[in-house]
Structure 1
Amino acid sequence: MSSMCLVYPQDTSLMEVNSFSPLMPTSPSSMINQYKFEDEPELKDLFVTVDDPESHITVIETFITYRVVTKTTRGEFDSSEYEVRRRYQDFLWLKGKLEEAHPTLIIPPLPEKFIMKGVMERFNGNFIETRRKALHKFLNRVVDHPTLTFNEDLKTFLTAQAWELSSHKKQGPGLLNRMGQTVKAVASSMRGGAVKNRPGVFTEMSDYVDVFSQKISLLDKISRRVYKEEKDYFYELKEYSPIHTLWSASEEDLVDTLKGVASCIDQCSKAMEKRMAVLSETLIPTLHEYVLYSETLMGVLKRRDHIQAQLDSKVEALYNKKTEGDLDLPVVNTLNPYLNAL
């Protein structure tokens, strides 16, 4: 498998974007330019598996926990192997912390709380296994990412016992999270929600992702509707085969014909079942993952706009102070978190 590393511009906020820069895609239709692929495999030093789902029933709620096993040779870990149990909301917390720490990186999407609603019932065996696979995929995408893999909250997630993680989760929001709350207020107050100094490439990218999201969402809905219709048809076929078999017992002259029809219906039923399995296990999850990734990318672009809006506000404040002759170093330093985030 080739490793994939997100390449993202670090300082495009206050300057013209060089259209010839190798770090910036020349067109949103060439989204592949955002990634750098390396053919040479890297030596992995962190391995994670999500398995062994376990049901928990309390007076208040019913939930599932999953075993997360970590094996590593990294020096920053106190042990070479860890085994902890995590529930879905713990994965949700990790994703939120990753977004907070890396607002302009594409964080892999999590399965939704009710994954494939209408295709699977919550807490049955298929649902739990489907979610386990999705959580395993999410966590491995995170640990294989060249930046996210060194996140401190990820380390806590992989190593802390349940009570330690619970205590860690109660800590207040970080700088970027607090900054983001202010940014949203500033961005919403700007005329039409527009960002003054947004590079044109991000506008093009936003438009591209918006159109792509609409189209892939439509395909996702169509595939689910097709699955539902085929499921209803499948149940009808399942009823017709035994009916024709029973009918043949009372019609001596039509025995062979009716049994032949019953056999044909049974074969059609089995073929339909295989087709439904492909839809539910391959096509629908793949399409829906594209939907989740498009939503994630739109979220990244919005977070970047929020940071850009706050930076524009700070720059304007600095300009006003400069004109008033009241500019000092501490004021200039307030820009650093925003420049680093961009």
Structure 2
Amino acid sequence: MDEQTRVTVTNPRTQANCDKQSYTDYEITIQSDNSAFWLPQSTVRRRYSEFVWLREKLQRTGRELPDMPHKTLFRRFDNAFLESRCEGLERFLQSIIQKKVFLADRRVHLFIQSQLTTNEIDGIVSGDYRYDETLTMAQRKDRTTSTAETDHELSDELSDIEKEEQ
């Protein structure tokens, strides 16, 4: 049986942070029957800068990486630009998950299937955080649950883990 994985990047949403600076985030949805993913379906939101972070981390493998849409200071909130960027980010992720070397990287899974920050992902990958208990808890939930529904629990678990280690 062929395993099927579909990843989409859609619904760009522009908003302002606490400093009243505008940014856009993108909805990543993945549907997969590939056992490499711990949830068969999930949806998260990521900023362009987080995609750049993922690409920089994966560059360290020495493997060839797909291109990403370029950063721009002009037209960055233009609808046509945002749609084009969604398509480019989707091609980037689709290419990443097709290569076993990248599919084996925990950063890819945490990026696509959790709301963890890039710093938290780094902490988990480096071993500074233990994520196994949280991952087990997420697996016990209804496996079609969106990661957005488990985020609060994941965040609480990470906070508890950090407190235990201090």
Q: Would the TM-score normalized by the shorter structure come out above 0.5? A: yes
Structure (1/2) with the larger helix percentage: 1
Q: 2:107 aligns with which of 135, 143, 153?
A: 153
The residue that corresponds to 1:168 in the other structure is 120
Identity between Structure 1 and Structure 2 (%): 23
Indicate whether 1:134 and 2:94 are aligned.
no
Match of 2:14 in 1: 55
1:269 maps to what in 2? none
Cα 1:173–1:71 change in 2 (3 A) is closer
- Closer, same or farther: CA 76–169 of 1 in aligned 2, 3 Å: closer
Measured after TM superposition, the shift of residue 121 of structure 1 is 2.0
Q: Deviations over 1:8-43 (max 9, x none)?
A: xxxxxxxxxxxxxxxxxxxxxxxxxxxxxxxxxx93
- Give the alignment's Cα RMSD to 1 decimal: 2.4
Q: In 2 relative to 1, CA 155–173 (structure 1 residues): closer, same or farther, beyond 3 Å?
A: closer
Is the contact between residue 69 and residue 82 of structure 1 (CA under 8 Å) also seen in structure 2? yes
Q: Does 1:111 align with 2:35?
A: no
- Hey, what does 1:6 align to over in structure 2? none
The CA deviation at 1:110 is 1.4
Query: 2:4 is aligned with what amino acid?
Result: D
**Which residues of 2 match residues 30-49 of structure 1 at below 5 A?**
43-49=2-8
TM-score in terms of structure 1 length: 0.34
Question: What secondary structure sits across from 1:132 in the alignment?
Answer: helix
Secondary structure of 1:50's counterpart equals strand
1:156·1:165 contact (CA, 8 Å) conserved in 2?
no
Give 2:47's match in structure 1, choosing from 87, 92, 102.
87
Aligned-pair distance for 1:96? 1.2
Instruction: Write the mapping of 1:176-191 to structure 2, written as runs, cut at 5 A.
Output: none
Alignment-mate amino acid for residue 94 of structure 2: N
Structure 1: any 5+ residue segments left out of the alignment? Answer: 1-41, 175-342
Q: Which has the higher contact order (CA 8 A, sep 6+)?
A: 2
Q: Residue deviations 1:175-197, cap 9 Å, x none?
A: xxxxxxxxxxxxxxxxxxxxxxx
One-letter amino acid of the structure 2 residue matched with residue 54 of structure 1: R
Q: Which amino acid aligns with 1:131?
A: R
Which structure has greater strand proportion? 2
**Structure 2 length as normaliser, TM-score?**
0.66
Give CA-to-partner distance per residue, 1:75-107, whole Å, 9 cap, x none. Answer: 34332101000110110111111112x12x101
Counterpart position of 2:33? 73
Q: Alpha-carbon deviations, 1:193-236, whole Å to 9, x = none?
A: xxxxxxxxxxxxxxxxxxxxxxxxxxxxxxxxxxxxxxxxxxxx
Structure 2: gaps spanning 5 or more residues: 127-166
SS in structure 1 at match of 2:112: helix
